[in-house]
Amino acid sequence: MKIDILTLFPEMFEIFNYSMIGKAIEKNIVNITSHNIRDYTIDKHKKVDDSPYGGGAGMVMQVQPLADSIRDVKLRNGGKVIFLGPRGITFTQNVAKELCKEKELIFVCGHYEGIDERTYEYIDMEMSLGDFVLTGGEMACIPIVDSICRLIPGVLSCTESYTEESFYDGVLEYPHYTRPECFEDKKVPEVLISGHHENIRKWRRLQSLLITREKRQDLFQKLKLTKEDKKLLSDKHKIE
């Protein structure tokens, strides 16, 4: 996947040179390039913002550098242009699953009080992390790009690394344990050291359901429980 990011702070995206995404870049599975919006302004002082017409606090990003930067990157990247802003859809795991199918994407990071309204002519989609305010679009772009990239085949070591994670199929992830088997009188559940793979699978599914029901009722109410799910919940005392 090819990803281009338009930002006032391209150095912030050096974080992608590390960990699993960094390895994916080395393997040419993912290509992430950040572009400085200031490079496109016609202002000799590299100014990209101005006071809003009609008055008000704060500054607004100008349409010219934004429009020109988008047009330039579109010459080499034909993907959707996604603006990180409060009007957009809320980013979820399902959105990540859809976007990871794309071959190319362009992200635009806003700053200050927002962008000139005329910039929306060049934007295909607006996306938000949630109903809260950040200092800039970069803060939202980083987790969104990371979430999308890790779903691309070859980025993680195996598909189980993400198919069994929280939110992937609508439930929170089951508990994890590792050595030592006993720590301060707290033991690892016996089923996990039994070697019985089917029982382990059922135990993990049950734990995911129970944790989701307890911690995230909003998610649990949206679940379409299978016959097995219902049986696991009804027989939970036998399985636990």
SS3 for 212? helix
- Residues of each annotated binding site for S-adenosyl-L-methionine: 110, 129-134
Q: Which residue has the tokens 């994890």?
A: 176
Distance CA 137, CA 32 (A): 16
Q: Which residue has the tokens 């070591």?
A: 157
Burial of 195 (0-12, 13-18, 19+ CB in 10 A): exposed
Contacts of 128 (CB under 8 A, 6+ apart): 84, 85, 86, 87, 88, 89, 90, 91, 140
Looking at residue 167, its amino acid is F
SS3 for 51? coil
- Residues of each annotated binding site: 110, 129-134
